[in-house]
Structure 1
Amino acid sequence: MSRTKNVALVVEDDPTLLDLITETIESLGHEVRSASSQEDALSLVEDTMFDYVLLDLKIPLREGRLPRLEIGFTLLERIVSLPDARRPGVIVMTAHGDDHEYCRRALRDGADDFIKKPFDSGKESPETAIKKLLSRRSEERYEAVELPGLAAGEGRGRPASRELSVDQGPPAIHLVGTYDRRRCNLEVNGKELLLSEQRFRLFARLAVHAKRSPGQHLSLLDVPEIQSGTRQALNRLRKDLEAQVPGFWDRWIRNDGHGSYCLQIPGDSITYDADSMAAHPELLTILRT
């Protein structure tokens, strides 16, 4: 029997905020479980398939311990490393929202969205974030099964893109980097691909390295976009690329067996849109040097 209600996990050690968030979720008709520590949250995640998680970044390891930001980031990494079939959407909550590095790090580490505390009743409320997340995940599931075998966008009012064959010569890579529902785009032989920001930045690093140092491998330990969860980020990038351009990964990306990767495409086949890549200044700076 399929579930009729969304099931949420709230990880929050402040009882007042927990009550507020729980009421909000229940008002949406969703079921709620709660945890106040990393230990309790992991126990629940192992036993229950959640649709989404609201995660306070500053939580204790277990009851009676002091809350720390690193505990929340570690829990985030554990949750997003779950198999795709079990991986819930994750909205992180933080009172450190004015420090944008925490927010950027959470998104790099796999969070789907973040909201600042204290909450407001507008665009950054828990209710708004939950609805936006569920809508986006529903769209992604629909796109994944809507028209199997067609290129992204075909059959939905877009012109068909040129198919990429692994038997062709090196494909043309064009880094665009504009945002579409928190995803970033690039083109492979004129075909638009959409990747999460973290996966786009990881692919862009490989492309930049191929352009500047052809044939040389890049150690993922040197990629700031994935300070943690390296293997998970790489696996998700591979799945995304294979879903949108079958055969691309095995044909054009090589692993040296020691955690370094090489995009085997000539530098003159890699271009970028300087205006839109301005949204990623550190990458644009490297491309221009």
Structure 2
Amino acid sequence: MDTNQLQAFDMITRQRSFSKAARALDISQPTISMRLQALEQAVGGALFVRGGSRLELTELGRSFLPYARQALAALADGIEIAQQTKQGARGIVSIATLPALTTDFVASAIARFYSDHPRVDLNIHTNHSDQILEMLYDGRVKLGLLNWPLFSRFGLTPILRFREPLIAVAHPSHPLAQERSITSQRMVSEGRPYWRLKWGPDANLWHARLITAGQTVTSIPVHSAHDLVLRGLGVVLLARPLVTADLAAGRLVELAVKDLPSFARESVLVCLSREESRLSTATRTFIAILREEGREFVHPTGSSRT
């Protein structure tokens, strides 16, 4: 049994004529008759009553017709979905990322992709670095968004690298916000408190040199620090994209720290090297959107292989 046989059966039923059905399918009448005969052999009996002025279905034909049409409809749907998947209009995009990296231009890319491709399943998972790598190696996700540099790069291909500058911010009512210029030491000692975030080895070493015995410095997650400074409590270094809207609206101000090193939050989008050439069209489209939304922060030496 094949699709041509089901199509022949369906068209003969609709046209009530072998000759009309053959013309509709652009095949010869002997061909459509052969296809029907083969189908009847497969189902085990005649599908039409032979003879008479009208072509009628047998009881077997009437019982089989709904299933034949369901099969044809399912096949048509499958072909349509396959074509849309090839074009990137359907499919699955699966990403695992660190929670702190889901904001800013990444969130904008997700929103834009969802708006442009509402029929694509977009699965965003958040986890720790080790678990993200495990999900990549196990094939549970196709993309991973991690901190850079990667300490484990076995079998991974960097697709996009981002570098987001860190700036010191506080609420407009904070005493340090009134200063025209301050030192890093004052920012830490007079932050009340200074929220210490883990921004990588260089920033960690810098913090260690600044913090003196007896100073109160609290380490908390990025989102918590952001929320606390918005409430008027403390000073923190945050990635500029995270606070762009807050600065524009006057909810936060950038502190003029004259000796602040040029630290940055660095991240990288990766895939398995063996999967790079097999990424789906939808996945490649998401990568292109992410690149465009984060174009201001794409690392000059970052690679793009989409």
TM interval, shorter chain, is under 0.3
What is the TM-score normalised by the length of structure 2?
Answer: 0.21
More helix by share: 2
Q: Comparing both chains, which one has the higher relative contact order based on Cα–Cα distances under 8 Å and sequence gaps of 6 or more?
A: 2
Of structures 1 and 2, the larger Rg is shown by 2
What is the TM-score normalised by the length of structure 1?
Answer: 0.22
